[in-house]
Amino acid sequence: MTESAFELPQELEEFRGLVREIVEERIGLARAAEIDEADEFPWDVHKLLVDNELMAVGYPEEFGGAGGGSLTFAVFIEEISRVSAGCALIPLVSRLGAIPVMLAGSDELKKELFGGIARGEHQMSYCLTEPGSGSDSVAMKTRYRKTDSGYVLGGIKRFITNAGVSDAYTVFATADPEQKAKAISAFVVYKRDPGVSFGKAEHKLGIHGSPTREVYFEGTEIPADRLIGEENQGFTYAMRTLDYSRPTIAAQALGIAQGAFDFATRYTTERQQFGKPVSHFEGLQFMIADMAMEIEAARLLVYKAASLVDAKDPRMTLFASIAKAFAGDTAMKVTTDAVQLLGGYGYMREYPVERMMRDAKITQIYEGTNQIQRVVIARNILKAITG
């Protein structure tokens, strides 16, 4: 029997099995429900990932990581998200913060941050969004100015995932708001730096256990070697980062959808109505069939997008947006249908599908809304036609 061209490499499937075993046995739906209820960062899960060398996945070995590219990392995030999307953000957000350093940072920053993340000494967050600039990121107001010894930053970043928990932040700031993208630079800022503080924890619909706060910089002085890459190239780094990170958000959405589908379909084979399992009713079978088709289509898009990133294929921007938009929409639809399959029970917190439905919504919003993804998709297609 020949191996299908659409099969992942055997070693990656073995890695998936290892992650699934750890997540199901050491986290599980019960702990995921506790994290959702308490809405506090699960330090025990962070330690679990560190102890099993999973926080090292996705970072180059020469800088203290365990290797593995975007496809490996996507499988990793997919498997955690099947049980807990909030827990998946522990490795996901650190890597998001680290991607600009991967793309343009110095070897010293890479050694310090990547090895530190792998060992559990560092966590990173990504500071791009502001009160007045979400989708319109070039409208940022956070400023920086150069000094004899480095840089001084001042401003506010909003909706920063794991703010306060992370000790290192990739921060985008502008030397002159009037120059838009041309004046934006990227920096590494530590929680311990002077003038760094945090706002209140936001009360969110979903992805509980992953704090979201504002981050404030008031006269924050940092040394010159914390500049990522070159001055005035920050917007380029931010956009390239999204090409790398959007397939990972798509993988999170895929995992959420798969987790809800697994639970709901199993439930339909056990729940009895009119003297037989509800899975015998054609109306529900059609729902299950649609859910399965959408999940499998999303999976192929996620893996293709991640593979294009690994190959540095110029199509990666297009497919990162396609995968993110399709998987996010799929997660929302599949989790909503999963709640419907459970009927009244699906609406109760005793069952995990309502949590998964709440978690799914953010995958249509962060890392660029799905409306923005459609703008990116259309522009790429039309550009290819018109040149």
pLDDT at 7: 86
CB 321 within 8 A of CB 377: yes
Give the whole-angstrom CA distance, residue 5 versus residue 312: 20
- The secondary structure of residue 4, as a DSSP letter, is P
CB 249 within 8 A of CB 324: yes
Give the whole-angstrom CA distance, residue 127 versus residue 158: 8
Lookup: tokens for 32: 């995921």
User: Which amino acid would we find at residue 312?
Assistant: K
pLDDT at 2: 45
User: What's this model's pTM, rounded to 2 decimal places?
Assistant: 0.96
Alpha carbon dihedral 291, 297, 302, 308, in 10-degree steps, equals 180
Our measurement of the distance from residue 382's CA atom to the centroid of its chain's CA atoms, rounded to an integer in Å, reads 28
Catalytic one among 79, 112, 214, 367? 367
Furthest C-alpha separation in the chain: 80
Give the whole-angstrom CA distance, residue 91 versus residue 117: 9
CB 238 within 8 A of CB 134: no
Residue 3 annotated among the catalytic residues of the structure: no
pLDDT at 256: 98
Token pair 């921007």: residue: 317
Going by C-alpha positions, the residue among 308, 328, 311, 310 that lies closest to residue 320 is 308
Give the whole-angstrom CA distance, residue 67 versus residue 88: 18
CB 251 within 8 A of CB 302: yes
E strands present in the chain: 124-127, 143-146, 150-161, 168-174, 184-190, 196-198, 212-223, 227-228, 272-273, 276-277
Give the pLDDT means over successive 10-residue stretches in the chain (387 positions). 69 98 98 98 98 98 96 98 98 98 98 98 98 93 97 98 98 97 98 98 97 98 98 97 97 98 98 96 98 98 98 97 98 98 97 98 97 97 92
pLDDT at 6: 75
pLDDT at 4: 54
Q: Which residues pair with 171 in a beta bridge?
A: 127, 187
